Amino acid sequence: MFHALEVLFLRIYMLIFKAVTAILPFKWPRTFEGVDSSLALVRHMASEGHKSVLVVTDAVLVKLGVLDKMKAEMDKCGISYVIYDGVEPNPTIAQIEAGHRMLEQAGAKAILAVGGGSPIDAAKMIGACAKNKKPVVAMTGLFRVWRGMLPLYAVPTTAGTGSECTIAAVVTDPVAKRKLPAMDLQLMPTAAALDGALMTGLPAHITAATGMDALTHAVEAYISKNAMAKTDEKAIEAVKLIMTHLDTAVTNGSDLNARQQMARASHVAGIAFTQAGVGYVHAIAHKFGALYHTPHGLANAIVMPHVLDYSLPSCAPRLAQLARLTQIGPVGGSDEDLARAFIQRIRDMNAKFGIPTRLDKLRSEDIPAIAQSAIAEARFTYAVPRYMSHPVAEKLIAQMLPA
C-alpha cells in the first residue's frame, strides 16, 4: 500500500499547487475558429506587423499540400517565410536545435506552427531557444523558460493534443530514452486557428488515436483533484463533443462538421488540462513513447482503461457524472455501475477503432523502469485521484504485455 503519510503530504502539496494554479495569469491564445480560419490567422499575423516568419511543420503535411493556402495567404499579405519541415512524431532535441538554426539564419521574428502536437511543441521550444539561449533540456521541467518565446501562431492539424492552448511542450531525448515535458506560462501560443478543413486528410487510425488523446486530457482533468468549476465546464464540453463526433471523424474523415467539432473538443480539453493537469495515463504513455516510439494518442488509448479501473474506487461519482452527461450506462444506475459503463465505452471505442488492448513492443524487463518513471512524473505534477505504489504500477503495466 502507498504510504499513508506520503499520500497526505502529496495531497497537501497538491492543494497548494491548485491554489497557485487558480490564480496563475494564463494568457489564452486569441482563437479563430471554422473553415479557413487558418487564413484569418495569417491575416492577423500580418496585422500584428510580422514580416518574417519561420514555419515549423512536418514533411508529410508539406507533401500533402496542407500548407498551400496559408503560403498563398502569406504571399498576399507580404509575409516572407522559411519552412522548417524536419519535425517528426515525438520531436527530439536535435530536431528542435536544427529548427532553431534555421530560424537564426532566416532572421525570423515569429513562428507559424502547422501540424499536430509534434510540430507545435517543437515550435514552442524553437521559439524558447531564440529567447533564452539555453540548451533545450535546461528549459524542460516546471517554469524554466524565463525569457519567454517568440510570438507563436499555431494551427493544429490533428484534433488531439490541444498544444495550441497549453503551456506544455514535450521533448524526446532519444539517448536517455526519456520524454521531457516543459511547462511554463510563456509556452502559450499567441493565437491559434481551429480549421477543420485541414484535417480531412488525416488517416483514420491517426484520427482515432489523437481523438483518444483529447479524451484522455478531458477525463484526466475531470477526475483530477485539481479540477475546478471552470475546468469541469471545458472537460465536459470536450467529452460530449468527442462522444458525439469522434466516430464520424474516424469513419468518414471528409465530414467537415465532425472535423470542426473535434478540433474544438481537443482545444477545450487542452484548456481543461492546462489548469487541472493530467494523470497516470499520460505518465505511463510518455514512457511508452520514449522507449518504443508509440504514438502519443495510441499509448494513451491503450493505457486509459487500466488506469481508470484502478482509479475508480476514488472517482466513481466523477466518472458516473461523465456517463450520465453522455447517456452512457443504465438510467438510474449506481455511481459504480455508471463509472464502469463509461470505462467499458472507452474499451468499446478502442476496439471499434482497431486500437489494441496490449502493447506489442512492451517487454517485461522494462516494466520496473516504466513504473518508476510514471510514478516520478506524476508525484509533484498531477493531482491523481488515487496514488499508486510501485508494485501496483508494475502490475497494472504488466496487463498490457503482449499475449
Ligand X SMILES: NC(=O)c1ccc[n+]([C@@H]2O[C@H](COP(=O)([O-])OP(=O)(O)OC[C@H]3O[C@@H](n4cnc5c(N)ncnc54)[C@H](O)[C@@H]3O)[C@@H](O)[C@H]2O)c1
Binding site for ligand X (CB under 6 A): 58, 60-61, 64, 66, 89-90, 115-119, 121, 157-158, 160-163, 166, 168-170, 198-199, 201-202, 206, 210, 213, 296-297
Nearer to ligand X, 199 or 308 (CB): 199
* Shortest Å distance, C-beta 263 to ligand X: 11
Nearer to Fe ion, 164 or 213 (CB): 213
Binding partner selected for residue 158 from ligand X, Fe ion, none, CB under the kind-specific 5 to 8 Å limit:
ligand X
Cα dist from 288 to 87, 160, 178, 365, whole Å? 19, 17, 9, 13
Nearest-5° Cα angle at 294, 259 to 362: 140
Of the residues 58, 213, 220, 377, which one makes contact with Fe ion according to CB under 5 A? 213
Nearer to Fe ion, 151 or 189 (CB): 189
Nearer to Fe ion, 211 or 329 (CB): 211
* Shortest Å distance, C-beta 216 to Fe ion: 6
* Shortest Å distance, C-beta 154 to Fe ion: 16
Binding partner selected for residue 186 from Fe ion, ligand X, none, CB under the kind-specific 5 to 8 Å limit:
none
Under the binding rule (CB under 5 A), the answer on residue 58 touching Fe ion is no
Report the sign of the C-alpha dihedral through residues 124, 128, 129, 135, in that order.
Answer: negative
Nearer to ligand X, 180 or 388 (CB): 180
* Shortest Å distance, C-beta 351 to ligand X: 21
Read off φ and ψ for residue 95, nearest 5 degrees. Answer: -65, -35
The three cell numbers locating residue 112: 507559424
Cα dist from 341 to 231, 324, 337, whole Å? 23, 10, 6
* Shortest Å distance, C-beta 345 to ligand X: 22
Q: List the interface residues with Fe ion, window 238-297 (CB under 5 A).
A: none
Measured from each CB, the residue nearest to Fe ion is 213
Binding partner selected for residue 115 from Fe ion, ligand X, none, CB under the kind-specific 5 to 8 Å limit:
ligand X
Contact 154, 97 (CB under 8 A): no
Residues 6+ apart with CB under 8 A from 142: 183, 184, 381
Binding partner selected for residue 338 from ligand X, Fe ion, none, CB under the kind-specific 5 to 8 Å limit:
none
Nearer to ligand X, 266 or 311 (CB): 266
Separation between Cα atoms, residue 319 and residue 10, nearest integer Å: 23
SS3 content of the chain, % helix, strand, coil (to 5): 60, 10, 30
Q: Which amino acid is at 364?
A: S
For residue 262, give the nearest of 246, 281, 286, 285 by alpha carbon. Answer: 246
List of residues contacting Fe ion (CB under 5 A): 213
